[in-house]
């Protein structure tokens, strides 16, 4: 993985690719002959599944010379990698923090990024997850369901049937943010503020896209002050929320910085991925009216439908791993020190695993998507996301008897990691007497 005696490949690769990403014409030239297409282009942001067929033609496990990554696109192979607890997720972060703009982050912002549970390995990961997992029980999620349902109907009432309605701005994003903020314990009067904060901090998760390190550092500093004050308040006035539970464990299992970092991670990554998935799923129902009719007529299929929504258009495109030792996968030897990229979009559409993988089939037998990962790094917020997905879409279908979304008018997030609309114009016909929660 080294370019020279003291220079890592990543220290050259990331700045070069950031420069390419900032110049669309240059990116088009760089990837002109790549059979997988341009991952930095608008067409890939609009439809990441456009490259899936080419990926599968090259096999379930492929070495990509340009990136010096092993890419896993097969379902069974992806499941095998995700299941292994001997592979690491945090190793490349130290290198990334030596590269601009990450190297220009404040010490607090760098510490926060380095200690996110998303990029932590055992034993720290085991300790952090053990504590946090207690707050993601079915009881915790069920406790929120009524509030999120009421929020969904309230947002849809405001959205109405106005011709300039934007489903992302007016429904999917604020609904997801309300769910995550409620779980954390953020008061409702601060929900709009917290949503604005997520737009800044989530930029840390896209290493090939540039961001302003001063803005990100200042935002993280503001969030630290906010959550520190909220934690102190919960010491005096405990509530049934995540912050209270974390504060109770401080000193015994957690530090205050870890409490705040966990809340910050949940707010940033959780709300963005959940909102993206709700929007992707409503768009899919617009594309497949037969499935919309099936869902309206057969409410018993909801649990299976949620899994199929997650498979069909995931809001997280890949999951990285690093192997500290030689390993074999699909008959190929992967040497120690290799980066492995699990392509979730492709794995969720592996034709060896799924019949008609490019069709939305809400009654598909046993979808079992890999959207939330697997093994020790399985997404902690999966149950919350599933609940928001079901509650939100149920409310949407209850309010709108018909709706239409022009795919060509949807604007998409420019991101290698996250999949979600930044703008989703739609038109709909409201029921005369939609049931309000």
Q: Could you report the per-residue pLDDT of 373-384, keeping only the tens digit for each? A: 999 999 888 999
Q: For 203-254, what is each residue's pLDDT tens digit?
A: 888 887 888 999 999 999 999 999 999 999 999 999 988 898 888 887 767 7
For the cut 90, the answer to whether the pLDDT of residue 269 exceeds it is no
Q: For 323-362, what is each residue's pLDDT tens digit?
A: 999 999 999 999 999 999 999 999 999 999 999 999 999 9
CA dist., res. 231 & res. 248, Å (int): 10
For the cut 90, the answer to whether the pLDDT of residue 427 exceeds it is no
For the cut 90, the answer to whether the pLDDT of residue 286 exceeds it is yes
Q: Picking from 11-25, 75-89, 304-318, 382-396, which range would have the lowest pLDDT averaged per residue? A: 11-25
Q: For 402-421, what is each residue's pLDDT tens digit?
A: 898 988 899 998 888 899 99
Q: pLDDT class for 4, splitting at 50, 70, 90?
A: very low
Give the phi and the psi of residue 88 in degrees, each rounded to 5. -110, 155
Fold of 9-430: Cytochrome p450 (1.10.630)
CA dist., res. 306 & res. 23, Å (int): 38
Q: pLDDT class for 136, splitting at 50, 70, 90?
A: low
Q: For 147-157, what is each residue's pLDDT tens digit?
A: 999 999 999 99
For residues 428-433, give the mean pLDDT. 75
Q: pLDDT class for 316, splitting at 50, 70, 90?
A: very high
Report pLDDT for 43. 83
- Most confident residue range from 122-131, 237-246, 259-268, 298-307: 298-307
Query: What proportion of the chain, given as a percentage, has pLDDT over 90?
Result: 57
Report pLDDT for 1. 39
Q: For 143-187, what is each residue's pLDDT tens digit?
A: 889 999 999 999 999 887 666 789 999 999 999 999 999 999 999
pTM exceeding the 0.85 threshold for the entire prediction = yes
For residues 41-63, give the mean pLDDT. 90
């Amino acid at each position: 993985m080294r370019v020279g005696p003291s220079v890592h490949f990543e220290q050259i690769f990331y700045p070069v690719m950031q420069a390419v990403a900032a110049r669309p014409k240059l990116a088009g030239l760089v990837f002109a002959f790549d059979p997988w297409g341009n991952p930095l282009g608008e067409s890939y942001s609009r439809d990441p599944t456009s490259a899936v067929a080419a990926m599968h033609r090259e096999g379930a496990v492929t070495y990509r010379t340009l990136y010096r990554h092993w890419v896993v696109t097969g379902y069974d192979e992806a499941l095998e990698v995700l299941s292994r607890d001997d592979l690491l997720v945090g190793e490349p972060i130290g290198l990334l923090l030596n590269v601009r703009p990450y190297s220009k982050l404040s010490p607090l912002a760098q510490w926060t990024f380095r200690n996110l549970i998303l990029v932590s390995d055992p034993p720290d990961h085991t300790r952090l997850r053990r504590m946090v997992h207690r707050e993601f029980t079915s009881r915790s999620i069920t406790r929120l369901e009524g509030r999120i349902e009421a929020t969904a109907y309230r947002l849809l009432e405001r959205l109405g049937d106005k011709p300039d309605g934007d489903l992302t701005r007016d429904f999917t994003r604020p609904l997801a943010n309300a769910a995550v903020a409620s779980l954390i314990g953020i008061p409702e009067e601060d929900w709009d503020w917290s949503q604005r904060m997520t737009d800044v901090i989530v930029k840390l998760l896209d290493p090939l896209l540039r961001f302003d390190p001063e803005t990100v550092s200042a935002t993280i500093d503001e969030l630290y002050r906010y959550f520190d004050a909220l934690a102190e308040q919960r010491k005096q006035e405990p509530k049934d929320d995540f912050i209270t539970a974390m504060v109770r464990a401080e000193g015994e299992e957690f530090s205050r910085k870890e409490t705040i970092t966990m809340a910050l991670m949940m707010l940033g990554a959780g709300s963005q991925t959940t909102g993206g998935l709700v929007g992707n799923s409503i768009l899919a129902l617009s594309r497949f009216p037969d499935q919309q009719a099936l869902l309206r007529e057969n409410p018993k299929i909801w649990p299976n439908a949620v899994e199929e929504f997650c498979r069909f258009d995931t809001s997280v495109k890949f999951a990285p791993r690093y192997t500290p030792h030689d390993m074999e996968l699909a008959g190929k030897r992967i040497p120690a020190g290799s980066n492995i990229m699990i392509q979730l979009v492709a794995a969720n559409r592996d034709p060896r695993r799924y019949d008609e993988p490019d069709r939305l089939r809400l009654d598909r037998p046993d979808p079992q998507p890999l959207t939330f990962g697997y093994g020790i790094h399985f997404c902690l917020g999966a149950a919350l996301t599933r609940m928001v997905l079901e509650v939100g879409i149920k409310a949407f279908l209850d309010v709108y008897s018909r709706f239409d979304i022009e795919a060509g008018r949807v604007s998409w997030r420019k991101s290698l990691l996250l999949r979600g609309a930044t703008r989703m114009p739609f038109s709909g016909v409201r029921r005369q007497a939609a049931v309000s929660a």
